[in-house]
Amino acid sequence: MSSETKQILTTDGIPLEVSLKKAERKNKIKAFLLVAPLLLFLIITYVFPIGDMLFRSVDDKMVTQMLPKTFKAMENWDGQELPDEKVFAAFHEDFIKLVEDKREGKLSTQLNYTKNGFKSIIKKLRRKSKSFEEGNYKEQIMSVHKRWADVEYWRAIQRRAPEFTGQKYLKGMDMYVNEEGKIVSVEEDRRIHRVLWLRTLEIAFFVTVFCFLMAYPIAHLLATLPMKYSNLLMICVLLPFWTSLLVRTASWMILLQQQGIVNDFFVGIGLVADDNRPEMMYNKTGSYVAMTQILLPFMVLPLYSVMKTISPSLMRAGKSLGGTPFVAFWKVYFPLTIPGIGAGCLLVFILAIGYYITPALVGGASGTLISNQIAFHMKSTLDWSFASAMGLMLLSGVLVIYWLYNKLVGIDNIKLG
Amino acid sequence: MALKKDFVKFDKVDKSYDGKVLVVKDLQLDIEEGEFVTMLGPSGSGKTTCLMMLAGFETPTNGEIYLDGKAISSIPPHKRGIGMVFQNYALFPHMTVYENLAFPLRVRKIPKDEADKKIDKALSMVSLQGFASRMPGQLSGGQQQRVAVARSLVFDPQLVLMDEPLGALDKNLRESMQYEIKHIHENIGVTVVYVTHDQSEALTMSNRIAVFNDGKVQQLSSPDELYEKPVNSFVAEFIGENNTFVGEVSDISGGKCKVKIANTDILANPISVKGKGEKTKISLRPERALINPSDKMDNIHSGKIEEVIYHGDHTRVRINLLGNNQFILKVPNSSANLDIKLGKDIKIGWNSEDARALDPS
């Protein structure tokens, strides 16, 4: 036999390789068409919104577009002394246009985010500007209010010149760019977000720990019980899934309130005095209890599916080789459940870190999380770009955790079933 | 030191899981030190339950098990010091071969250099040197099997239990592993209790075989005795191939009995029949019945050939003989036996000694 490779031809003379590729290409196109709807759905409902969120969180075009001439004139201003007549004239021109379009209110809101005190002086300027004479706008504007003659306010306007800004992110960390352009923290008593971030991490961490401690024995029981009992137990575990989240949270409110069932029981068995009922709701305790219960199935299920695959003969082997039941568990059984522990913990932690309804209802002031703050900015202050910025910070936090997990345990080790 | 006669002793052991059915009934079994004893039986016969009681994963409902003279029912499995090979090997999948073998040594706090020597020895015993750093998942079924055997022996137990260890291997590998385990047993002289439902495996490997059925030991004897001299019809039918005739004893005298089958009397060896009129089942091994019988044989009958199956070195012939159309003959393929043709009548003979008249069930 000769060892040289001869090109194999099909019956119609086309090389077999080409012909095979052609046949495979058809299949590939078919497969792609099958997944295309899902792909499209994912792009529309997932990639676009997140992209939009990213854009919104750094977008600062509004002021740039409202004061185009002013910013053009400010390009040569060094920011040390008050700007010269040219800047004032340009600002006046931009401002008159905004007044005509009735958009000066928006400008005042936006500038007020940057520095307090713009609202009233813009209102005043609008009234006075009707009687302005042509020329020497610097004098005229400065005479409207003494703040217009303060260089700080002009610097504040200049800071809004760029089309994109990271200041929302800084605000999310309780930091801002001060007059000198340095990034500094806000005063101690005005810091709210850092506390919330830390609390979110803390609650998510402990909820994960509690879930793990409770789910491990349950999952083990589920995996080892005979079928007829384990099915019943499985239904008990899954029952919360089939109940509305709101109903479950509301039932915790009934249980945990000061005149609630749990407190009544404690008083009944004499654990606490009737006039000294502990507050178990509208604080961290409420968040811990309700979130642990609600997220428990997410820990049980991956653990169960991993434990189900561990042959009982492994524990027996461990014991027959001389390991005490504890050694057999710790050296043999436990390491084999790590993929399930990883999956469960990651799942619960990521869900807990963005939890919203439950902490909003039972968390009170000291039990709310960062997501409640995001919702507050979405609904109440309407500062969507700030909400977007915090949302993205949360998302990148989750990605960091995911990355860390991959480094420490390895994402291939994850097993959901 | 003399080998102990009753190194392992099951003393009147009963076992019931649900309190209604006894899966092991009044088991009495002595195993000698250094012996290779196989528990053989169909599934559900209680053999694995016996093994699990010996290993300590089940407790006897009644009776006591003794190991080296000590009652062990109240000793937990990890203190019994019994090596065990499981059905699906039960290697720890997250540990290397080395760590698997080191596990029993580590829990016994054996110093590392001594442990390493033992591990090397155990691995060379199953000819797996150089595999120490592999994970079990990277090994073939036969290799995993050997690691499991090595692991069960590495801490020098006096007794090793094997629960159908070769069940998952293919036929060729199974056969070579049978010899390998047999040789390991011969070399190190450890006592082995082996469970299987494969009779050829049991016949190949064991010193003695305990045939289980219905929670009882039906017969405990060496492989040849078990095959040649089954004490009841269950053992006769379970071990090897068997031709049976059902009939009634018409006469019994001088170590022989006459059994009436389809209006013909045949001579048989009375094993479990005592007197006239008893029902009996006669068991005859196919290779003990010959075609072209010599005149010395005291049973000669003729039957019609119903089926001929060629098997290479021998031919299986199915004959309708005395109303039994499932009578099997194994005829060697020699030039003298070329006239075996379908539909032909043929003379068959056997010695009455080989036709064992057993219980009728």
Contact A320 B82 (CB under 8 A): yes
Count of domains forming chain B: 2
Answer yes or no: is A382 within a domain: yes
Q: Are residues B184 and B224 in the same domain?
A: yes
Interface mutation vs chain A, best among B52, B54, B84, most A CBs within 10 Å: B84
**Domain endpoint, select from B194, B218, B235:** B235
- Over the stretch A190-229, which tens digit does the pLDDT of each residue have? 888 888 899 999 999 999 999 999 999 999 999 988 888 8
On whether both B348 and B298 belong to a single domain, the answer is: yes
pLDDT > 80? residue A2: no
Pair (B229, B276) in one structural domain: no
* Residue B3 lies inside a defined structural domain of this protein: no
Considering its fold, how many domains does chain A have in total? 2
Here the tokens at position B101 are 């073998």
- Residue A226: per-residue pLDDT: 87
B32, B111: one domain: yes
Contacts 24+ apart (CB under 8 A), A214-217: A214/A292, A214/A296, A214/A299, A215/A296, A215/A299, A215/A300, A215/A303, A215/A344, A216/A303, A216/A337, A216/A341
Between A165 and B96, the more confident residue is B96
Could you tell me the CATH number of the domain that includes residue B221? 3.40.50.300
Instruction: Return the pLDDT at A386.
Output: 87
| A181, pLDDT greater than 80 | no
Domain of B322, CATH number, reads 2.40.50.140
Are A317 and B92 within 8 A, CB to CB? yes
pLDDT for the residue A215:
94
The confidence score (pLDDT) of residue A202 equals 92
Residue A68 lies in a domain: yes
Residue B175 and residue B215 in one domain:
yes
Specify the pLDDT at position B311: 83
**Per DSSP, what are the bridge partners of residue B273?**
none
Question: What is the Cα–Cα distance from B244 to B157, expressed in whole angstroms?
Answer: 44
d(CA A311, CA B254): 59
CA A221 to CA A230: how far, in whole Å?
A: 8
The residue of A309, A320, A324, A326 whose CB has the most chain B CBs within 10 angstroms, and thus the best one to mutate to test that interface, is A320
State what percent of residues in chain A have pLDDT above 70. 96
- In Å, the largest CA–CA distance within chain B is 77
Are B146 and B221 part of one and the same domain?
Answer: yes
B55 to chain A, closest Cα gap in Å? 7
* pLDDT single digits (tens) A12-48: 878 888 888 888 999 999 999 999 999 999 999 988 9
| A220 and A154 in a common domain | no
Identify whether residues B186 and B64 lie together within a single domain. Answer: yes
pTM: 0.77
Rounded to the nearest angstrom, the gap between the alpha carbon of residue A387 and the centroid of all alpha carbons in its chain is: 9
Same domain, B247 and B226: no
- Give the integer Cα–Cα distance in Å for A31 and A130: 68
Helix (H) / strand (E) containing A169: helix A167-172
Instruction: Please indicate, yes or no, if residue A374 is contained in any of the structural domains.
Output: yes
Tokens at residue B251, please? 């006469």
- Same structural domain for residues A337 and A279? yes
In this complex, the residue of A313, A320, A328 whose CB is nearest that of residue B88 is A313
Q: Please tell me whether residues B210 and B63 are part of one structural domain.
A: yes
Interface ipTM: 0.79
Which whole number is the average pLDDT over A125-142? 83
Q: How far is A307 from chain B (nearest CA, A)?
A: 14
Residues B130 and B263 in one domain: no
Model pLDDT, residue A11 = 80
**Domain boundary residue, one of B216, B235, B254:** B235
Query: Is-contact B229 B356, C-beta < 8 A?
Result: yes
User: Is B84 close to A324, i.e. CB distance below 8 A?
Assistant: no
Question: Which tokens sit at A321?
Answer: 């080789």
Q: Which residue has the tokens 């043999």?
A: A332
pLDDT exceeds 70 at position A109 = yes
Tokens at A49, concatenated: 């919104």
- Write out the residues of chain B at the interface with chain A, using a CB-CB cutoff of 8 A: 55-57, 76-84, 86-88, 90-94, 103-104, 107-108, 151-152, 155
Residue B326 lies in a domain: yes
From B214, B235, B256, give the residue that closes a domain.
B235
What is the pLDDT at residue B338? Answer: 63
Residue written as token pair 């050694």: A327
One domain, residues A241 and A379: yes
Nearest CA in chain B to A335: B94
Is the pLDDT confidence value at A1 over 50? no
Residue B265 sits in which domain range? 241-358
Per the model's pLDDT, the better-predicted residue between A164 and B133 turns out to be: B133
A177: in domain = no
Q: Could you say which of A327, A335, A336 has the minimum Cβ distance to residue B107? A: A327
- Residue A223 shares a structural domain with residue A142: no
- Comparing C-alpha atoms, which of B37, B21, B41, B17 is closest to residue B216? B41
Query: Tell me: the pLDDT tens digits for B250-288?
Result: 887 777 788 888 777 788 887 777 777 778 888 888 888
- Does A324 contact B107 at a Cβ distance shorter than 8 Å? yes
For testing the chain B interface, which of A313, A321, A337, A412 should be mutated: the one with the most B CBs within 10 Å?
A: A321
Strands B82-85, B159-163: parallel, antiparallel or unpaired by DSSP?
parallel
B65 and B205 share a domain?
A: yes
Rounded mean pLDDT of chain A? 86
- A218 and A139, same domain (yes or no): no
User: Would the pLDDT of A247 be above 80?
Assistant: yes
Task: Work out the number of other CB atoms within 10 angstroms of the CB of residue A38.
Answer: 9
Give the domain range for residue A87. Answer: 61-163
Q: Indicate the pLDDT class of residue A416, thresholds 50, 70 and 90.
A: low
The total number of residues shown for chain B amounts to: 361
Judge whether B229 lies within some domain. yes
Asked if residue B308 lies in contact with residue B342, where contact means CB atoms within 8 angstroms, the answer is: yes
Query: Mean pLDDT by 10-residue block, N- to C-terminus, for chain B (361 residues)?
Result: 76 87 87 90 87 90 89 89 89 92 92 92 88 90 90 91 86 87 89 90 90 88 88 86 83 79 79 78 84 76 84 84 82 72 81 81 71
Same domain, A400 and A254: yes
